[in-house]
A and B are shown apart, each in its own frame.
Chain A
Amino acid sequence: MLAQLIKHYLITSAKVDPAKFDQPDIKVADLGLDSLGLIEMLFEVEDKFGFQIADPMRYQSMTFDAMVADIESQVRAHHNGELPDIAAFDSPAGAR
């Protein structure tokens, strides 16, 4: 679910070529995001799960899958071990 959420954002908003995700070990650094682009991407997750992800620049050296796994562990750490259903979180007005 998290991977889909992030991929959807990257393809539709950050204009990342969808074909890049065919590569199983694609690195975050190969997505073509600058540092601002990376934190905008993380905001998609932060906004939904209500916390700020620490130390974002370390993701640049990870694979996409490793980043998603790390983000998921952080989400769980903030939600009593659960990965909440994002549909249960409404987006407050003015979030964007």
Chain B
Amino acid sequence: MTSVLATGLGMISPLGADCKTSFAAALAGQSAIRRASAELSAGLPDLLMAPAAAEPLPLLESGYAGSDRAAQFALAAAQEAMADAGISQAPADAGRFGVFVGVGFGGAHTLDAMYARYCATLGGDENNRRRAAVVHPLSVPRMMANAPGALISLRYGLRGMGNTYSVACASSAIAAGEAMRAIRHGYLDAALVVGTEAMLTPGSMVAWNALRVMARVHAVDPAASCRPFDRARSGFVLGEGAAALVLESRVRAERRGARARAELAGYGASADAGHLTQPAQAGQAAAMRQALAQADMEPGQIQYVNAHGTATEVGDVVESQAIAEVFGSASRQLAVSSTKAVHGHLIGAAGALELALAIMALESGSIPPTAHLLDPDPRCTLDYVPLEARHGCRIEAVMSNSFAFGGSNACLIARRAEP
């Protein structure tokens, strides 16, 4: 089976408008988390958000103004990844080049705006009331979950097989893993993988708030409200943005002289079949073991894990125990961090974003910290790289975990691409 190389990375995240600035902010532990605006909070006090550092539309060609924000983020991240890979529009082998997208809840902005208009118009003056049922004819193709994938495929003329995976917080980790498999098994020679999410809308915010998983505002510094693995953690902060990776078979990449940023070497996926929202150690461990087996690696060969680390009470403990179970004695030399402390939880985009950050750690030898980790939960016993980045590390391989509501677990391993 051919090995699969990552030859391009892109992102537009709460930390920055591109990979370089986002990774630098992650290393610096610079939090993008802030109080949510009044328009987003529906009168609820103390909601937090991690908005993207840049608007996506000005980064794109004109014509995407009506597209859902999730699609705009996806296009912006894809653009950087394709440029990074040095691939221009419609490659000659476009039929062997697919688009794989992960999104938790596509079209949230379109749907929210549609309902907001509907309700406002129905409740408005009599002259306008009849207009309530007149909605934009592209509402459906804008809000459909596969809109980002469709627009990317159109934009670059990519005609190979591809899919949109909606697996909550594991969406784009699974998109990356499935794309890797499709290339390994010979269905494709290349894939553009994108994770995207844009649901900082009033409707989404009140729904997430109702689930009681959102972080409380830190009394002194709202930016420090998301505290993975800390005793004082209280949940996550919803973020928005997208990340993209260009994956190619080694043969294709070598033929065109592409620079490999990493090899995507292992993918594991499992289902807990236990609880709708609560994580399970066994399922998470199973995903990690599968990824290691597929990469033909021992736990001791991984130096850094970008944890799912959502800063929920149960999630951080279960993930720590699962990592300890899988890595055994090797966990003593393992660095584990959750960058969600600074970029928030990008749900469908989280897997691709965190994989890309982990790959940049692999390339640079610099490990981003778990920001705001002052007082570790005694049940979380790993080395979480608290507060400060670690530089000059010798990193051969990294792991990125993504564990979703619904009990879907995904684990990806990237390693140095041997020449």
Contact = CB atoms under 8 A, between A and B. Distances in A.
Identify the interface centre among B66, B120, B137: most chain A CB within 10 Å of its CB.
Answer: B137
A39 B136 CA distance: 9
Interface stretch (B124-132, B213-221, B301-309, B360-368): B124-132
B416 interface: no
A93 B134 contact: no
28 contacts: A36-B137, A36-B138, A39-B137, A40-B136, A42-B137, A46-B134, A47-B131, A50-B128, A50-B130, A52-B133, A52-B134, A78-B130, A89-B127, A89-B131, A90-B128, A92-B117, A92-B120, A92-B121, A92-B128, A92-B131, A93-B116, A93-B117, A93-B120, A94-B113, A94-B117, A94-B120, A95-B136, A96-B66
Interface in A65-96: 78, 89-90, 92-96
Question: What secondary structure prevails in chain A residues at the interface with B?
Answer: loop
A51 B136 CA distance: 12
A9 interface: no
Contact of A50 (B113, B120, B131): B131
B94 interface: no
Contacts of B124: 92
A43 B138 CA distance: 10
Contacts of A50: 128, 130-131, 134
A57 to B, nearest CB: 13
A89 B128 contact: yes
A78 B131 CA distance: 12
Question: What secondary structure prevails in chain B residues at the interface with A?
Answer: helix
Interface residues of A, number: 18
Interface of A: 36, 39-40, 42-43, 46-47, 50-52, 78, 89-90, 92-96
Contacts of B127: 89
Contacts of B138: 36, 40
B117 A40 contact: no
A78 B130 CA distance: 10
Contacts of A36: 137-138, 141
B151 interface: no
B291 to A, nearest CB: 42
Nearest to B127: A89
Given A92-B121, A92-B124, A93-B120, A47 B113 contact: no
B182 interface: no
Contacts of A90: 128
Contact of A94 (B114, B128, B130, B141): B114
Given A50-B128, A89-B128, A96 B136 contact: yes
